[in-house]
Amino acid sequence: MARRKRRNYTPKFKADAARLVITGAKTVAEVVKEFDLTETALREWIKRAKADEGAGPPDALTTAERAELIELRKRLKRVEMERDILKKATAFFAKENA
């Protein structure tokens, strides 16, 4: 089976597709067929929409929390790189002055 080309959808489109299933207006299969989506992607959008509404599992991250987590991980990586550079510089100058 050939792989699909990765497609990007707007957050509004994702929310609208998930809302159709959550409200019971359509089934997952109907939405998948109508909008030519993968079932896995739609189910993930539904799970995230429920988490944003507070109806998901207690450990599920909301979209805002997910974005904050990504930003914090980027900042942590940068700070660790800066720390490593300073460690190497300190060792270099300590060796040079000894």
Q: What is the pLDDT along the chain (98 residues), one digit of tens a residue?
A: 677 788 899 999 999 999 999 999 999 999 999 999 999 999 999 999 998 888 877 888 888 999 999 999 999 999 999 999 999 999 999 988 77
| Confidence (pLDDT) at 68 | 97
pTM (2 d.p.): 0.67
Residues contacting 48, CB < 8 A, separation 6+: 14, 18, 56, 60, 63
* C-beta of residue 43 within 8 angstroms of C-beta of residue 28: yes
